[in-house]
């Protein structure tokens, strides 16, 4: 018996070391990041150059009191100290961001569903101050909220259940998880989350950002190695830095880069002492929200097993949005949840609530219950929010007896395919994977960032535009987040307006022209690509 | 109708210029400054072209003529 088990162990070990010749992916992985056209890059730099010159002119005028200075400056007594506002970030803020600031922080005054109401505001001094006109712009098609499965609703089963729990428990918890804030609702939620993900145990936290930044320090420390993707979210970066471990960055979604780092780590060990690393943790995200790309999870797991490291998967955007039954990126690739050591996600995006969770083996979660900063110091989730998560999760799993959850997941997949295909046919440059509901449309030039946001709002469509600190300086984009609550009519209206604005602002930079299919919506056939 | 579409096209071109050079984002006095500077430079370049380009072309023409043949005038004439 023991001989047989030893032989099968070696066989399994050998299986992890062979070269997989195409057996890892069970479905095609279509991801594309079209290169910036040279002319567009040059013109973008020209635009930034002009704005920089005018920025220097305005700073000069403010310094010499020709113009009133409306931003924050040091007091007179502090003018001889180390300057606070002279670095590039503050220069960018004063001179470039202020000019287009009206596209951000727009106040909405209804539930952020498929359509949203917004309060109209005007600025009489070029975006330094805003005043509300009092008018409410109604029924703006919402292409910016992370409402992937459409659970941001003010009526329906989720809302009724949450209202009932609100009348039972109230809104406040008034304590941390370890003291008096551990409600029976939290226990119920955690069992449900563990069942949903297919892991042994799970723990829920009050804030998604805090889940990452407070739990990574509990898992790794000095003497450990963190291999983090180039484009990881700020919460992962903050958690990695707070932990005190050594951080090495691999190129975005590039498995050769990751393998090289892993090999170097195993061969050379820690920097000066050459001792082996205590732990190697790979930090990746399911869907990267600025690029719309999906992590190459089968390859990451194969590498993780080969080099015996641990994997931390942040499924903030992919839980509920990918996979045939909405269980996330692990189900999308057909892998087993036991291969991922720490599965983290948030309830903010697909479940219409707030907070985050971590799922994994029972020993891991029991350890986190005691040692996580978030469990010890942060207030736990509010009861109506917990009920919203429980109801929406049961709906997705189909346990409330209806087909609504499955229909929503399928509707989201159809919307994603349709929207992406139509935008590519129109000639825009779209980044990311074919199946990701996050659609970045490249704008590149700084004036077009402001113009796109304003023109789309004039046509009653709300979009999120992203510029410098969140993206590289020439690669600014507009980011659409699709939802299962968007009907085909809404998507067609949005596409028509995007087409119009694209012609008006000349945003159709793509040089790969797709042959458009005859109008058969929700078609899964592949298309040919012809170059201009 | 043609004039109207022509005017629309020119307006669209002007909008593209505004977007590319970011004068869409500037305040009116900044736009005035920017356009004044641009138009002044353009007028100066055109004026220089108007004055110097014919002279340069004739000089280049004479240089190439000197390179490929050495006849400034036709010296052959028939004397009867």
One of 3.90.1150.10, 3.30.465.10, 3.30.70.260, 3.20.20.140 is the CATH number of A1-142+403-512, namely: 3.90.1150.10
- The tally of CA atoms less than 13 A away on the side-chain side of residue A75 is 2
∠ Cα A410 A415 A416 (to 5°): 100
Share of chain A above pLDDT 70, in %: 92
Q: For residue A521, how many other CB atoms are within 10 A of its CB?
A: 13
Overall average pLDDT of the A193-222 stretch: 94
Tokens representing residue A121 in the block: 């505001």
Exposed / middle / buried, residue A511 (Cβ in 10 Å: 0-12, 13-18, 19+): exposed
On chain B, the residues whose CB falls within 8 A of the CB of A504 are 12, 15
Which of A17-31, A62-76, A509-523 bottoms out in mean pLDDT, i.e. has the lowest?
A509-523
Give me the residue spans of the domains in chain B.
Answer: 39-70
* Residue of A50, A468, A476 to mutate for B, most B C-beta atoms under 10 A: A50
Per-residue pLDDT averaged across A446-473, rounded?
93
pLDDT computed for residue B73 by the predictor: 56
The secondary structure of A104-121, three-state, reads CCCCECCCCCCEEEEEEE
Fold (topology level) of A157-397: 3.40.640
Chain mean position to CA B30: 26
Cβ within 8 Å, pair B21-A450: no
Q: Which of A95, A102, A447 to mutate to test the interface with B (most CBs of B within 10 A)?
A: A447
| Per-residue model confidence (pLDDT) at position A18 | 59
Paired tokens of A524:
């899964």
Cβ distance B22 to A451 less than 8 Å, yes or no, reads: no
- Please state the domain extents for chain A: 1-142+403-512, 157-397
Which pLDDT value is given to residue A517? 46
pLDDT at A72 over 90: no
**Distance from CA of residue A51 to its chain's centroid?**
30
Rounded CA-CA distance A193/A198 in Å is 8
Best of B20, B30, B31, B35 to disrupt the A interface (most A CBs within 10 Å) is B20
pLDDT tens across the length of chain B (80 residues): 789 999 999 999 999 999 999 999 999 999 999 999 999 999 999 999 999 999 999 999 999 998 887 665 555 666 65
Q: Does B20 contact A100 at a Cβ distance shorter than 8 Å?
A: no
pLDDT of A238 higher than 50: yes
- The minimal CB distance from B25 to the residues A46, A99, A505 is found for A99
Contacts of A126 in chain B (CB under 8 A): 27
Instruction: Single out the residue of A165, A29, A49, A7 nearest to residue A474, CA to CA.
Output: A49
CB A383 within 8 A of CB A169: yes
Measure in Å the smallest separation between the Cα of A427 and chain B Cα atoms. 18
Q: How far apart are the first and last CA of chain A?
A: 65
Question: According to the model, what pLDDT value does residue B56 have?
Answer: 92
CA distance B41 to chain A (A): 15
Contact criterion met (CB below 8 Å) for A83 and A74:
yes
Say which residue the tokens 């970030």 belong to: A89
Nearest to A46 among B18, B20, B34 (CB): B20
- From chain A, pick out residues whose CB is under 8 angstroms from the CB of B25: 51, 99-100, 446-447, 450
Cβ-based contacts under 8 A for chains A and B: 44
Instruction: Read off the pLDDT of residues A400-442 as tens digits, 9 standing for 90 and up.
Output: 888 999 999 999 999 999 999 999 999 999 999 999 999 999 9
Per-residue model confidence as pLDDT tens digits over A101-158: 999 999 999 999 999 999 999 999 999 999 999 999 999 999 999 999 999 999 999 9
Confidence tier at A16 by pLDDT (50, 70, 90) = low
A443 alpha carbon, distance to own chain's centre: 19
CB-closest option in A100, A445, A504 to B20: A445
Chain A's closest residue to B18, CA to CA, is: A447
Q: How far is A459 from chain B (nearest CA, A)?
A: 18
């Amino acid at each position: 018996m023991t001989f047989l088990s030893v032989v099968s162990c070696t066989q399994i070990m050998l299986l992890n070391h062979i070269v997989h010749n195409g057996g890892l992916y069970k479905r095609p992985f279509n991801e594309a990041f079209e290169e910036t056209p040279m002319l567009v890059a040059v013109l973008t730099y020209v635009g930034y150059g002009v704005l920089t010159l005018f920025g220097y002119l305005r700073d000069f005028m403010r310094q010499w009191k020709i113009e009133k200075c409306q931003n924050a400056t040091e007091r007179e007594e502090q003018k001889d100290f180390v300057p606070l506002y002279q670095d590039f970030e503050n220069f960018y803020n004063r001179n470039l961001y202020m000019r287009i600031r009206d596209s951000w922080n727009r106040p909405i005054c209804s539930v952020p569903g498929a359509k949203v109401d917004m309060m109209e505001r005007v600025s009489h001094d070029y975006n330094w101050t805003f005043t509300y006109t009092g008018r409410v712009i109604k029924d703006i098609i919402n292409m910016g909220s992370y409402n992937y499965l459409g659970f941001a609703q003010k009526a329906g089963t989720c809302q009724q259940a949450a209202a009932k729990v609100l009348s039972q428990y109230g809104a406040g918890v008034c304590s941390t998880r370890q003291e008096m804030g551990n409600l029976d609702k939290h226990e119920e939620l955690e069992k449900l989350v563990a069942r949903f993900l297919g892991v042994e145990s799970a723990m829920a936290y009050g804030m998604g950002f805090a889940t990452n930044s407070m739990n990574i320090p509990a898992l790794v420390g000095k003497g450990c190695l963190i291999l983090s993707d180039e484009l990881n979210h700020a919460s992962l970066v903050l958690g990695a830095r707070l932990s005190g471990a050594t951080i090495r960055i691999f190129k975005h979604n590039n498995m050769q880069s990751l393998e090289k780092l892993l090999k170097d780590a195993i061969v050379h060990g820690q920097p000066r002492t050459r001792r082996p690393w205590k732990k190697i943790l790979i930090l990746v995200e399911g869907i990267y929200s600025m690029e719309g790309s999906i992590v190459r999870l089968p390859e990451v797991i194969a590498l993780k097993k080969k080099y015996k490291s641990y994997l931390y998967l942040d499924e903030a955007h992919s839980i509920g949005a990918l996979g045939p039954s909405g269980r996330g990126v692990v189900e999308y690739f057909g892998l087993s949840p036991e291969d991922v050591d720490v599965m983290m996600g948030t309830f903010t995006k697909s479940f219409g609530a707030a907070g985050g969770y971590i799922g994994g083996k029972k020993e891991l979660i029991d350890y986190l219950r005691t040692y996580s900063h978030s469990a010890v110091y942060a207030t736990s989730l509010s009861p109506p929010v917990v009920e919203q998560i429980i109801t929406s999760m049961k709906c997705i799993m189909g346990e409330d007896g209806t087909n609504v959850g499955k229909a929503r997941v399928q509707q989201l997949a159809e919307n994603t395919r349709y929207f992406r295909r139509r935008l590519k046919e129109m000639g825009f440059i779209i980044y990311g994977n074919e199946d990701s509901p996050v659609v970045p449309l490249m704008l590149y030039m700084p004036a077009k960032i402001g113009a796109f946001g304003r023109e789309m709002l004039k046509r009653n469509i709300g979009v999120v535009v992203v510029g410098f600190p969140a993206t590289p300086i020439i690669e600014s984009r507009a980011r659409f987040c699709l939802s299962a609550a968007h009907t085909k009519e809404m998507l067609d209206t949005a596409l028509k307006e995007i087409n119009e604005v694209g012609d008006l602002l000349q945003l159709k930079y793509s040089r790969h022209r797709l042959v458009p299919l005859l109008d058969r919506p929700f078609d899964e056939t592949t298309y040919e690509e012809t170059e201009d | 109708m043609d004039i109207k579409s022509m005017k629309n096209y020119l307006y669209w071109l002007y909008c593209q210029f505004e977007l590319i050079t970011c004068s869409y984002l500037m305040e009116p006095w900044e736009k005035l400054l920017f356009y004044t500077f641009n138009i002044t430079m353009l007028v100066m370049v055109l004026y220089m072209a108007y004055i110097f380009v014919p002279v340069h072309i004739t000089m280049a023409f004479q240089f190439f003529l000197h390179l490929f043949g050495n006849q400034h005038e036709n010296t052959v004439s028939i004397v009867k």
